[in-house]
Structure 1
């Protein structure tokens, strides 16, 4: 274990999360594949090893600081890109049944390679638009926890993600800057999509101390049949 890994492990332990040697190896292999594939497709602008461990891996796992993953059976990561936060959470909490939805097929190909290479089980990788997948049986109102990291403003994100959450489950939006204005703007979408603001958690990423916010939303009832609207509509005409 080198200095970067040691720092990563210690910072997670400070938050009550312990990972073993196998899990640490999975993170390292994930990093190597990310950098290798990034040379031929645009996955991330962050490729320095210490930065990947902090700004991608640690940042992804930070969701578990505020949501008890031991009580989560199924997790859906919407618009996951290079696999954040879904893959790091799955590495740390192997019991999770993870579903990742992304609209770009080459990213799904990359994620399949990652999942196979680091031997992750019970991972489903779906190529498709969130608005279309959310209408399919087994996905609609189907997950204990749904998350998205820096994908869109809350009024749009709610329509992408809340339809996937089972009644009694939660949606956690992972944001950088202060989301107060976005949350106020999203009031109509919460009501329409049967979501209720539970809590906003704020913290700073270690070392560089950049702001992070995790918005936790409770799903209070089944998604009305008219939502989500057809692909592209939420972005063009948000529920505000």
Structure 2
């Protein structure tokens, strides 16, 4: 527990004993389940703490999560569950398209004793059309692997006006940012900030893109399943 606490101190985050226990329980269950289903290629204790848990929390340097949050394409629960552990007042929805992962997430939620958090099986293109999800969230986050144009079409429709979409990106993304601006504007947002942050004790950079919702997303977006990835909205 003390080792986990020390690692989080490098982000200037002071964990309670309960939070440290929750992260350790999460790690143990992740590694156990990973033996029978594909959840992560990273299983070493130090690497999971750094590259999954701490990486999920890097956005606290840009925005303090509050209110309702949706994690699109959450996979094994990143960044949604680490954010929920650190910010327990958050009302969180974890969205994933694979039912086996959703079952895993529900088990994690139960084991860690988390409240005001649910895991949902579905596709962003479908869920974002429903009134009780469309433009209902203060914050949308995603570490999913997709270009910014595609990811924005999946995520921005969930965000209320004056809320934020935070995209976790890696590598050099300047070209991706430029092509993504048009898509983001069409969807009712603007890129408010982009920041490169260094994972503690590594030479690994993460680019956090902060997108503010300034208007409303046209009803035709997101397009039907598969289209955002097949034909991304982008500058010509």
Length-normalised TM-score, structure 1 = 0.95
Distance in 2, matches of 1:219 and 1:7, equals 36
SS of residue matched to 2:140: strand
> Hey, what does 1:57 align to over in structure 2?
53
Distance in 2, matches of 1:8 and 1:97, equals 26
> In 1, are the aligned partners of 2:73 and 2:144 still within 8 Å (CA)?
no
Distance in 2, matches of 1:218 and 1:5, equals 33
> In 1, are the aligned partners of 2:72 and 2:96 still within 8 Å (CA)?
yes
SS of residue matched to 1:186: helix
Q: Mind listing any 5+ residue stretches in structure 1 that lack a counterpart?
A: none
Distance in 1, matches of 2:186 and 2:99, equals 31
Pick which of 146-155 and 161-170 moved more: 146-155
> Runs of at least 4 residues of structure 1 off by over 2 A?
none
> Hey, what does 1:148 align to over in structure 2?
142
Give the deviation of 1:68 after TM superposition.
1.8
Distance in 2, matches of 1:143 and 1:6, equals 30
1:20 and 2:16 are equivalent in the alignment: yes
> Hey, what does 2:6 align to over in structure 1?
7
1:170 and 2:164 are equivalent in the alignment: yes
> In 1, are the aligned partners of 2:39 and 2:76 still within 8 Å (CA)?
yes
Where do residues 46-195 of structure 1 align in structure 2 (5 Å cutoff)?
46-69=42-65, 72-195=66-189
> In 2, are the aligned partners of 1:104 and 1:127 still within 8 Å (CA)?
yes
> Hey, what does 1:220 align to over in structure 2?
214
Distance in 1, matches of 2:5 and 2:68, equals 30
Pick which of 97-106 and 172-181 moved more: 172-181
Give the deviation of 1:98 after TM superposition.
0.3
Distance in 2, matches of 1:168 and 1:187, equals 17
Give the deviation of 1:6 after TM superposition.
3.9
> Hey, what does 1:211 align to over in structure 2?
205
Give the deviation of 1:97 after TM superposition.
0.2
> In 1, are the aligned partners of 2:72 and 2:144 still within 8 Å (CA)?
no
Distance in 2, matches of 1:174 and 1:112, equals 24
Distance in 2, matches of 1:101 and 1:124, equals 9
> In 2, are the aligned partners of 1:150 and 1:176 still within 8 Å (CA)?
no
SS of residue matched to 1:212: strand
Distance in 2, matches of 1:86 and 1:9, equals 17
SS of residue matched to 1:151: coil
RMSD over equivalenced CA pairs, Å: 1.0
Give the deviation of 1:151 after TM superposition.
2.4
SS of residue matched to 2:134: coil
Give the deviation of 1:7 after TM superposition.
2.6
SS of residue matched to 1:146: strand
Give the deviation of 1:178 after TM superposition.
2.3
Distance in 2, matches of 1:106 and 1:74, equals 24
> In 1, are the aligned partners of 2:30 and 2:39 still within 8 Å (CA)?
yes
